[in-house]
Structure 1
Amino acid sequence: MIYAETRSSLKLVGLMLVATLLGGIILWAAQRAAPNALQGADKARIEATVRDYVLAHPEIIPEAMRLLQQRETGKSIAANRAQILEPFGDAWIGNPKGDVTLVEYFDYNCGYCRSSLPVIAELVRRDPNVRVVFKEFPILSEQSVTAARLSLAAAAQGKFKPFHDALYAAGPVSEQTMQQAAKTAGLDLAKAAAMTPKAEAEIAANRRVAQTLGLTGTPSWVIGTKVVSAALPLEELEKAVKEARAQS
């Protein structure tokens, strides 16, 4: 009972804070439109009205929070734009000059990432003006990290796509499947070993950006100012690309 009462109290406090914030925003806008026009009584009346409305209609709070989160995410994307949008080597497909870039953060041990391969291929086939960039985000196992290093080496050698497809096609990541994928792609393993520090730096940078963006798993997508951590069907990816295109 005490726990339930505490939760109710915290919820009420949260509602009051949101109401106060909304009231402050409205007051700020009004003052910008007509500086010095609002008197003390007017401010108090507006704040009370907004607070009462929010408390009577709490359903507007999730939408307000969603919009606020989107705004903050957009700021994070803008602040890390180069690291997000620039591919490592040839880790991209589609139109190199496409007007929308879709970024996938993936892990080779992620079954949902594997199932997204044909979806991404179909998106590129149907939309000749989109570019897809692949970002290594190994979070599921140590073998995922090893696979990410090899993948980055393949990208540096201009062989990302053959390695990427071959390793996913081989099933769960293992030493055997990684070696086979490297052989299929024609990867120079000596060069791959030499660039391990560079690959580690790229993985660390991707993890830092992923944390900043609040990515919660794989696959995760960055499309325009939108971030989604989930496997998406083709229709949802196309919708997100359309929205990003409209914003550009």
Structure 2
Amino acid sequence: MILRHAAPALLGFSMAATSAQALDLKAMSDAEKVEFGAQVREYLLENPEVIIEAIDILEQRNAAAEALADKELIAANEDELFNDGYSWVGGNPDGDITLVEFMDYRCGYCRRAVPEVASLLAEDGNIRLVIKELPILGDASVLSSRFAVATKQVAGDDAYKQVHDALLEFTGEPNEISLRRISDGLGLDSDAIIAAMDSDSVTDEITRTRALAQRMQISGTPSFVLGTEMLRGFLPADQMKQIADGVRAERG
């Protein structure tokens, strides 16, 4: 594996001592292969930094390939990501760049991301936020998301945001009693929300978001799409701001 990573750096060295034809391993005799192997070994022992350099180049190429693949995924799912017609939209609705967050209420890193996202939106002022419910951490996650989505469908976007924030701070076990307590405390119609939790429309919304996450190859939360960039995991606000500025710069 290491020799394969180092091969690009070794070719220049080998060409100085060996003919191009001899570098074709299939064309080498057994003796030539032994000699070539010895030359490679000697070179690596004398220049071990070449291995690190070659690995760094390989990692950069892999990262570039992954970034390009993510851009293609975003482009292929642009409408469902940014304008699905059901996800809650906040931040600056007319912002020049959109941040999409796939989140789970039981996810510790999602909770850590809350102040970072808030800081980003406050500092930038020109970012549109889309929240996508992706309950992947068990039944409690699903129950919480059903409650949040049902709130949005029954009581509207402002009520959803209140419940969304409350669920991210809630440390107990979600059940009908605790969820009613949350909605009652916010002055919402708990009976109507609880009744809507198992509705087909709530199920459809969560199912569509899960299908989108699968297409986007998202396997964990939080995951973000920021303009044309995929952010797979938690990032502090300053790093997200740099990425947002980079996306804008690419647009020209």
Q: TM-score, normalised by structure 2?
A: 0.71
Give the equivalent residue in structure 2 for 1:100.
97
CA-CA distance at 1:183 after TM superposition: 2.4
CA displacement at 1:190 relative to structure 2: 2.5
Shift in Å, 1:153:
1.8
1:142 equivalenced with 2:144 (yes/no): no
Shift in CA distance, 226/110, structure 1 to aligned 2, threshold 3 Å? same
Please give the root-mean-square deviation of Cα atoms over the aligned residues, in Å.
2.9
Provide the residue aligned with 2:185 in structure 1.
Answer: 184
After the TM superposition, list the runs of 4 or more consecutive aligned residues in structure 1 that deviate by more than 6 angstroms. Answer: none
Instruction: Give the share of equivalent positions with the same residue, in percent.
Output: 31
Task: Give, in whole Å, the separation in 1 of the partners of 2:85 and 2:107.
Answer: 20
Q: Is residue 103–residue 134 contact of structure 1 (8 Å, CA) maintained in 2? A: yes
How many residues were matched structurally? Answer: 206
Give 2:164's aligned residue.
Answer: 164
Question: In structure 2, what is the equivalent of residue 111 of structure 1?
Answer: 108
Distance 1:78 1:189, change over 3 A: farther
Partner Cα distance (1:188, 1:200) in 2: 19
Aligned to 2:120: 123
- Give a deviation string over 1:139-174, Cα, whole Å, max 9, x none: 001121111112112222322111111122222441
Indicate the residue corresponding to 1:174 in structure 2: 174
Matched, 1:197 2:194: no
3-state SS of paired residue (2:131): strand
User: What's the CA shift string for 1:103-124, capped at 9, x where partnerless?
Assistant: 1100011122122222222222
Q: Aligned partners of 2:168 and 2:226: how far apart in 1?
A: 23
Q: What does residue 241 of structure 2 align with? A: 238
Gaps of 5+ in 1: 1-7, 20-43, 49-54
Matches within 5 A, 1:2-151: 8=1, 12=4, 57-86=54-83, 89=86, 91-151=88-148
Residue 78 (structure 1) shift: 1.1
Q: 2:226 aligns to what?
A: 223
Structure 2's unaligned 5+ residue stretches are 9-19, 25-50
